[in-house]
Structure 1
Amino acid sequence: MSEPAAAPPHRRAEPCLDGLPAAAVARLQAAARAIRDGDEHAARQALDAALGLAPEHPETLRLYGVLHLRRQRPAEAQAWLRRALARWPDYALAHSDLGTALQATGDGEAALASWRRACALAPDAPMPWFNLGRNLQQAGATAEAAEALQRAAALAPDLLPAQVLLGDALAHLGRLDEADARYRAALALHPACGDAWRGLANLKTRPLSADERTRLAGLLRRDDLAPPDRIALGFALGKACEDQGDYAAAFAALGEANAQQRRLAPWQAGAFHALVEAVRAADAALPEPADPALGREAIFIVGLPRSGSTLFEQILAAHPQVEGASELPDLPETLAEESRRRGQPFPQWLARASAADWLRLGKRYLERTARWRAQRPRHTDKLPENWLYAGLLRAMLPGARIVDARRDALEAGWSCYKQQFYRLPHFACALTDIAAYIRDYERAMDAWRAAGPARIRTQCYEALLADPEREIRALLDFCGLPFDPACLDFHRAERSVRTASAAQVRQPLRRDTARAERYGALLDPLRLGLGLPPLGG
């Protein structure tokens, strides 16, 4: 069996099969089809045969790596891809695949380096640019992500995900006209693209038209829609109906979309209540912190989604000392790392954590988030569900400040019901679950604030609307920040806003944000769950 013909470094993205026997080419093509179809046995047979015909050919090695990636074995994938690159160091497609394998094992910086290398080697290939842009967006580097995604979309105008993700990146940067155009370009390619309709609906300051409502209703009558598209179209139809003032139709559309979403992964309100109670019990026995100032760099903004947290972050991020980092996964992931290290699920190990353990975990969080303080000394972390850990931060990051974003519970709960959330199961798919979640959240946060008022501030959304300057001054004072007038003009701050409120916080404060009253007795299940009197008698 002969070695493959010698070749110069391969500065290309597509497979190079020059010099291979025809039989080996046929085996590689069969392997690629089997990988695409999810047939691991057939793929292995074809790749083994290709290796026998042309030992150590880089494309065979790369496809073995792709096979392991598809089967969620990223460490094995890396080994095969590195063997391929040892043979062809400038093989762009292998660098791109290696980036995916590195990302899957948590090595985000190395993954970005691999994608950048692939883009440099094959600048006319769209997929390396798409992979780079998608992952830069996830890492919060939105401006650079938009540039990469623009390259991908220009090189492959029919690459639907590139158009949608570019729309998302542009929306997060506040370039709303351009974002709108990209979502519509995606719909020109695929009129029932749920992600594109979701993007248009999330440009919340722009109403959907009567014509768009008609189009959405027509699409939902099709029987060939994939479930994710059907759900996203349902949420968009709900917004279109509300924009047109047809609240009964909006409630019906949102109810159906939420019911479909809930069937995918039902929320377990009882189990979540038990979790909250277990965390509260553990919080009562926390050790005194080893370093009371640890975490002063961090400002956590927590609470219900759709309660003003993005607005409060935008105000703080307008301050020259604060970097707005948006919704960071680092706090729950730091705790998950500790759960894996101990071999016990959260929160079972909390009672055995010492002051030294909490000091180590606090330093780990600060290490993970250090990049957000490269330009400014402090950063915000506004993942709403971090409220569950607000009590634990007393031991882990005692110097941090926690802003509890509060909005009228009925308005906030209804706004959650209207918003499509992608992490499932989610409490927002049923009005009764929303009420149960709000009760757990408010009871826990009220207790933790009472125990540590210097650490936790309840920031009322309606109070901010009523007297912006007074509330902004008080918020800055709580965070230990000197007043800066830029915080009053927060909507002018140039930054990436990676939430569903990206369009809203680009505008001055609006006082006409209440919507729940328009739905009347339709929201009585939520009212009853919140302890409010129903309207329907």
Structure 2
Amino acid sequence: MRSGVQPNELEQGLELLQGKSILIHSQEDLSDSIQFFRYIPLLVQLGARVFLEIQPALIPLFYAWRNTISLIATGEPLPSCDYHCPLISLARLFKTEMDMIRRSIPYLFPDMNALKACQKKLGYSSRQRIGIAWKKCSLPLTTLLTLQQANLDFICLQKNIDFEESKELDHYQIAHHSLELSTLTGTAALISCLDLVITIDNSIAHLAAAMGKEVLVLLPFSAEWRWFLHQEDSPWYPNVKLFRQETSEDWNAPLVRIKNALMILPSIEHQIVTKNLMNEAHLQFQNGVFFKAEQIYRSILIKNPESHHASQGIALAALQQNNMADAIQFMQQAVEIAPKTALYRRNLGELLRRVRQLRAAIASHSMAISLEPTSAENHFLLALAYHDNRQFELAIQHYRIALSFDQNYGLAWNNLGASLASTGDKHQAKTAYAAAIRLNPHHAEAQNNLGAIYSEEGQIDAARTHFEAAIAANPDFIEAHYNLSLIKKYTASDTHLMTLDALAQKINHCSVPTRIHYYFALGKALDDCQQYARAFKAYAEGNRLHYLQKPWNKTQIHDIVENLPTVFSQSFLKQPTQTNETRCPIFIVGMPRAGTTLIEQILSSHKQIYGAGELSILDDLIQEACLASRTPFNTWVTQLTDDELAKLGEKYLDQTWTLAPDKQFIIDKMPSNCFYIGMIYRMFPTAKIIHAIRDPMDSCFSCFTHLFKTSMLFAYDLGALGEYYALYSQAMQHWQSVLPSNVIFDLPYEQMIAQHEALSKQLLDYIGLPWDQNCLNFYKNDRVVRTASLIQVRQPIYKSSVQRWQHFAEELQPLLQMVAPYRHKKGISA
């Protein structure tokens, strides 16, 4: 290491490199520099800014990495960096073991101008081109030339040759391209034009291997450490085969093995026939004749079972014909034939993601990244799988890595926004969506997604602008039409209603999710225009399609409710966990669409209360605990100790209070927590539980007219809604009978509408907080609202939602019969 450069050790862990700079000093030996360069992309993945001091001759070969790392020729001034490290030491710092050596091939690439010049100079040959390199003192040229065969063209890769060797090359008509071999740039271009390289252990072996060329390396009896012992392949390069001397100075045995390998190389004629068939298959595929393309690919595979190109072709053709089973089977076969081809790993991962085999998809994409760590697409697709698996932080990490390799990757900016939004980071999500739009103002998905955030924030004009931009970019983008419908109040002459009517001619050719969005949008528009019969037909069709796709299974909730009297008896509930906890959760429970969002918006206008929306935290913790104990909920609850209850409660509070650490009160308005009130009371004896009550016909019908973001599968069928309401009512009746009367605050929606100020004051008294005038102006609260009520809570109290179901009374008679007993108990006769 040059004087004046003070190294800093990284023994404490490579995570220290995040956001830091590191100067890597290459080795004097070209082979070492090429071999260990593979670790440089890993430093970039760790978030480091990398400076690589490298031999000047190698810089053109590393030019493809110029946007990722800073290259410095040996002898030039060195920058001041946070950390310094010799290149060869990276193997130790990354704790490399033999089965985890990075084998990302290729990672060196020829200069394109030099390659074109070399291709032009060599011209066409019907024979295989084999590059050769030797060492006179250990493996002389004459010995290597015993490998010559009639179907092979040998090309010299030896830079320096003596007079005798020159004569021998001329005798055997072996080309020596001295001009190209005078530089590494020219040598790399020449190697790119070859079919195979046969060489001793030298820099040519490493250069060709790092470029992805198939290499046969002749090793002496006592080989260098890097080739290990007794192996015929190399853990460093998957495209290298090793041929070792069995005894010192005896090359006969390894040369015989190489000669046998050369004899079975496919002829150029066979390759041409296969190539013609492959070209025909590609042409059929491009023309959309997928069945014919698949037939040709299969015929190639029969003649050549090791053709990974044909296997992938079958997989892609099967995908286009919606045959996912064959698509996955043959892409897996391509991976097995060519396990070090990142493209196949990537494609397999995406196929697995589409059939929701997310763990397998993540594993496949991770392997693709290990093979091509600087591929933006590899990181993008892994992020997509992580997002689908709800591992949003990991998705964000890999979207950002993809963007570090390609800042103009618009789809990555858009999807980064979606993952950020899923974590609640709306500000950063908007920034990501805006970046996608700057790259392409006609990016319909990004426009729609940005509009959705503005809608949640109550910035309705901005939301409308982006939804309309999305529709202008893609007039058939139904999700944008749906989102626009949620923030509009339609009249009969509204041009967007006419647009929705016109889309009816195309909608039956769309996917089921698209058709669902369409019918809910159309229903909303017709409902606004008081065309109630047509509106109900649209709502009913949207719900029918959704319920056919995902029917509700009531078993779990039914079992919980039926066993409440046994599990959550009065004696069990008399033993709440003792706590000195100052953090106080507020739970708003009840039927969906019963006013839970309105209550949260009013309360969160108070300066000491934070509205977190519908949190799945409690249900997630309970489901995880039941899964870990391998017992159903009712059994698990009875086996809980006070200590386990306390720890569960602490986990809930810790996770919830990350959202607003400075608040004493946080609202969790997940309506289905009504089935966990006994657990809530035992864990948090001081928690506030507000029960949102509404006419069952209004709450059930309001559910029926909304497309929920969360899983409320009962909401898409009137019969299921009636059954769910009965189970909810049964649960609430039990809690009211076994808990002290001051534990649950019942809040009827209709009374809240009629007596807003008085009931708001009662609510704050129940919580134990002083009156805050902001609670009267709740519609000015600028917090994010993520539920179907996002527009209603941006307006002052209005009464049009009361008895709304009456407009659809004829169609709702089956539901009315199911909930009539509960309406009677509430004293509702209309």
Tell me the TM-score normalised to structure 1 length: 0.85
Counterpart residue number, 2:749: 461
- Output one character per residue of 1:154-207: Cα deviation in whole Å (capped at 9) or x when no partner: 324454433332222121111212222332333334444332232123226566
Q: CA separation in 1, counterparts of 2:363 and 2:608?
A: 44
- 1:372 offset after TM fit, Å? 1.1
- Alignment root-mean-square deviation, CA: 3.7
- 1:430 offset after TM fit, Å? 3.0
Counterpart residue number, 2:815: 526
Match of 2:658, SS state, is helix
Are the aligned partners of 1:417 and 1:430 in contact in 2 as well (CA < 8 Å)?
A: yes
Q: CA separation in 2, counterparts of 1:146 and 1:516?
A: 37
Counterpart residue number, 2:795: 507
Are the aligned partners of 2:380 and 2:402 in contact in 1 as well (CA < 8 Å)?
A: yes
Match of 2:667, SS state, is strand
Counterpart residue number, 1:289: 576
Are the aligned partners of 2:561 and 2:730 in contact in 1 as well (CA < 8 Å)?
A: no
Equivalent residues in 2 for 1:110-509, closer than 5 Å? 110-203=394-487, 210-222=494-506, 223-268=508-553, 272-284=557-569, 286=572, 288-292=575-579, 296-421=583-708, 426-450=713-737, 451-509=739-797
Structure 1 stretch 452-461 or stretch 67-76: which is displaced more? 67-76
- 1:86 offset after TM fit, Å? 5.9
- 1:332 offset after TM fit, Å? 1.0
Q: CA separation in 1, counterparts of 2:580 and 2:492?
A: 49
Q: CA separation in 2, counterparts of 1:307 and 1:508?
A: 17
- Output one character per residue of 1:188-243: Cα deviation in whole Å (capped at 9) or x when no partner: 34444332232123226566854433433343344312222222222222222221
Letter in 2 for 1:109: E
Q: CA separation in 1, counterparts of 2:62 and 2:344?
A: 16
- 1:90 offset after TM fit, Å? 5.0
Q: CA separation in 2, counterparts of 1:90 and 1:127?
A: 17
Equivalent residues in 2 for 1:29-178, closer than 5 Å? 33=316, 38=324, 39-51=327-339, 66=350, 69=353, 72=356, 74=358, 91-103=375-387, 107-178=391-462
Q: CA separation in 1, counterparts of 2:664 and 2:730?
A: 33
Tell me the TM-score normalised to structure 2 length: 0.57
390 and 494 in structure 1: CA distance in 2 versus 1, 3 angstrom threshold? same
Are the aligned partners of 1:266 and 1:425 in contact in 2 as well (CA < 8 Å)?
A: no
- Output one character per residue of 1:505-524: Cα deviation in whole Å (capped at 9) or x when no partner: 11222233222233344333
Q: CA separation in 1, counterparts of 2:386 and 2:758?
A: 48
Match of 2:747, SS state, is strand
Are the aligned partners of 2:490 and 2:525 in contact in 1 as well (CA < 8 Å)?
A: no
Q: CA separation in 1, counterparts of 2:541 and 2:366?
A: 48
- 1:108 offset after TM fit, Å? 3.5
341 and 476 in structure 1: CA distance in 2 versus 1, 3 angstrom threshold? same
Q: CA separation in 1, counterparts of 2:818 and 2:350?
A: 49
Match of 1:481, SS state, is coil
Match of 1:475, SS state, is helix
Match of 2:610, SS state, is strand
The number of equivalent residue pairs is 528
Are the aligned partners of 1:142 and 1:173 in contact in 2 as well (CA < 8 Å)?
A: no
- Output one character per residue of 1:55-110: Cα deviation in whole Å (capped at 9) or x when no partner: x5766665565566556555555556556656766544344344345456664434
Q: CA separation in 1, counterparts of 2:544 and 2:590?
A: 24
Are the aligned partners of 2:328 and 2:348 in contact in 1 as well (CA < 8 Å)?
A: no
Q: CA separation in 2, counterparts of 1:460 and 1:230?
A: 35
183 and 421 in structure 1: CA distance in 2 versus 1, 3 angstrom threshold? same
Higher-RCO chain (CA-CA 8 Å, sequence separation at least 6):
1
Q: CA separation in 1, counterparts of 2:565 and 2:656?
A: 26
Q: CA separation in 2, counterparts of 1:482 and 1:352?
A: 40
Q: CA separation in 2, counterparts of 1:522 and 1:241?
A: 16
- Output one character per residue of 1:109-168: Cα deviation in whole Å (capped at 9) or x when no partner: 343233334334432211221221111222222232222122223324454433332222
Structure 1 stretch 252-261 or stretch 384-393: which is displaced more? 252-261
Letter in 2 for 1:193: F
Letter in 2 for 1:128: A
Are the aligned partners of 2:444 and 2:470 in contact in 1 as well (CA < 8 Å)?
A: yes
47 and 180 in structure 1: CA distance in 2 versus 1, 3 angstrom threshold? same
Match of 2:638, SS state, is helix
**Which has the higher Rg, Structure 1 or Structure 2?**
2
Match of 1:517, SS state, is helix
Are the aligned partners of 1:112 and 1:132 in contact in 2 as well (CA < 8 Å)?
A: yes
Q: CA separation in 1, counterparts of 2:66 and 2:612?
A: 39
Match of 1:373, SS state, is coil
- 1:365 offset after TM fit, Å? 1.5
Q: CA separation in 2, counterparts of 1:298 and 1:117?
A: 37
Are the aligned partners of 1:74 and 1:101 in contact in 2 as well (CA < 8 Å)?
A: yes
Q: CA separation in 2, counterparts of 1:292 and 1:27?
A: 66
456 and 204 in structure 1: CA distance in 2 versus 1, 3 angstrom threshold? farther
Match of 1:363, SS state, is helix
Q: CA separation in 2, counterparts of 1:36 and 1:373?
A: 46
Letter in 2 for 1:522: E
**Is the counterpart of residue 517 in structure 1 residue 802 in structure 2?**
no
Q: CA separation in 1, counterparts of 2:685 and 2:763?
A: 18
191 and 438 in structure 1: CA distance in 2 versus 1, 3 angstrom threshold? same
Q: CA separation in 2, counterparts of 1:229 and 1:48?
A: 37
294 and 468 in structure 1: CA distance in 2 versus 1, 3 angstrom threshold? same
More helix by share: 1
Match of 1:402, SS state, is strand
Are the aligned partners of 1:293 and 1:399 in contact in 2 as well (CA < 8 Å)?
A: no
71 and 304 in structure 1: CA distance in 2 versus 1, 3 angstrom threshold? closer
Q: CA separation in 1, counterparts of 2:538 and 2:390?
A: 39
Identity %, equivalent residues: 30
- 1:338 offset after TM fit, Å? 0.7
